[in-house]
């Protein structure tokens, strides 16, 4: 029904009365939520692994954008979008992996002239390339590094929002406490299987494997070529497949996020020889958080070694 002129004249009075009533009685919970969301610290993480850490430590005080969140996306070949650039331009805290893993973050920050607080996980880790070798940049599989990263995130959020410093510190310490059982699982594997050989398709889980006391028997030329997206030479592929046909390894830890014909041959050879295959990924699977994801990875490795 059309609104009469008299009804229109009453509308501002009614709205004003409602406003007075709301002011007298206090704001609604919806308003509180809107205010909290508006004041949340904008955080951009290069992958959902670091996005999950930021959400755990920041809670409702952060608004996190994870640039790479699709478990089917190969982070090494990711092309950043306009939306990514916009999110970065508004961010107060940025969490990147570093070590050449997610250079698109630095390129966008440089071109936009943005100056957020940038946390580089590789720098936090303190890890460097071994003599004559290449840096393994997959530091989120190293729990001591992740613990230090939690403290660094809490410090960056505190800088952006000093009033909530106690919350950020408490959340970081609780997260670090929950990392303890994961390290205990690694120690248990080391005690039961220390020195045993495994194969990998890429260095993705190598920090976990080393912390578990296991020996990586994969030809370096194989895993490096797969990581760089290069072809594996016939001789190197033959040497790798011989690990399985000769039953020289107890398990194959397989990066299922970047599989291809040569890694599939390794997987098939392992299965044909009755050697367990342990799939891992570089980013969080859908519906998983960091702690649950890593617990499943370690449990799967322990189960494979026990067979």
Decide which of 120, 144, 179 is a domain's last residue. Answer: 179
Rounded to two decimals, the pTM is 0.86
Q: Give the separation between CA 252 and CA 106, rounded to whole angstroms.
A: 34
**Does residue 18 belong to any structural domain of this protein?**
no
Decide which of 131, 158, 179 is a domain's last residue. Answer: 179
* Contact by Cβ (8 Å): 254, 263: yes
Of residues 196, 190, 193, 182, the one with CA closest to residue 292 = 182
Q: Give the separation between CA 50 and CA 79, rounded to whole angstroms.
A: 18
* CATH of residue 288: 3.40.50.1980
My answer on whether 173 and 100 are in the same domain is yes
Of residues 278, 273, 276, the one with CA closest to residue 244 = 273
Tell me the per-residue pLDDT of 198-247, one tens digit each, with 9 for 90 and over.
999 999 999 999 999 999 999 999 999 998 889 999 999 999 999 999 99
**Domain carrying residue 230:** 182-306
pLDDT < 70 stretches in the chain: 1-38, 74-76
**Does residue 167 belong to any structural domain of this protein?**
yes
pLDDT of residue 86: 92
Decide which of 137, 152, 179 is a domain's last residue. Answer: 179
Of residues 48, 117, 126, 120, the one with CA closest to residue 88 = 117
My answer on whether 248 and 273 are in the same domain is yes
Tell me the per-residue pLDDT of 107-148, one tens digit each, with 9 for 90 and over.
999 888 878 999 999 999 999 998 888 899 999 999 999 999
**Does residue 31 belong to any structural domain of this protein?**
no
**Does residue 57 belong to any structural domain of this protein?**
yes
My answer on whether 277 and 231 are in the same domain is yes
In the chain, the number of structural domains is 2
My answer on whether 136 and 76 are in the same domain is yes
**Does residue 16 belong to any structural domain of this protein?**
no
């Amino acid at each position: 029904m059309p609104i009469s002129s008299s009804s229109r004249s009453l509308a501002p009075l009614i709205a004003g009365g409602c406003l007075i009533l709301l002011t007298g009685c206090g704001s609604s919970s919806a308003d509180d939520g809107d205010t909290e969301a508006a004041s949340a610290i904008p955080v951009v993480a290069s992958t959902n692994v670091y996005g999950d850490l930021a959400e755990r430590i920041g809670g409702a005080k952060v608004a996190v954008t994870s640039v790479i969140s699709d478990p089917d996306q190969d982070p090494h070949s990711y092309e950043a979008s306009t939306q990514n650039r916009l999110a970065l331009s508004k961010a107060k805290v940025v969490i990147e992996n570093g070590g050449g893993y997610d250079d698109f973050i630095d390129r966008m920050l440089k071109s936009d002239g943005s100056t957020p607080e940038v946390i580089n996980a590789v720098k936090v880790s303190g890890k460097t390339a071994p003599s004559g070798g290449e840096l393994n940049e997959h530091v989120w599989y190293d729990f001591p590094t992740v613990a230090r990263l939690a403290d660094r995130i809490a410090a960056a959020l505190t800088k952006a929002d000093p009033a909530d410093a106690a919350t950020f510190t408490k959340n970081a310490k609780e997260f670090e406490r929950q990392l303890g059982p994961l390290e205990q699982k690694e120690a248990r594997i080391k005690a039961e299987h220390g020195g045993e050989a495994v194969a990998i398709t890429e260095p993705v889980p190598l920090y976990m494997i080393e912390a578990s006391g296991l020996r990586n028997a994969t030809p370096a030329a194989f895993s490096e070529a797969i990581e760089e997206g290069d072809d594996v030479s016939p001789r190197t592929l033959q040497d790798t497949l011989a690990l399985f046909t000769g039953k020289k390894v107890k398990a194959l830890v397989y990066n299922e996020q970047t599989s291809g014909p040569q890694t599939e041959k390794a997987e098939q050879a392992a299965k044909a020889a009755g050697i367990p295959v342990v799939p891992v990924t570089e980013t969080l699977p859908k519906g998983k958080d960091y702690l649950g994801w890593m617990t499943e990875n370690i449990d799967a490795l322990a189960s494979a070694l026990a067979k």
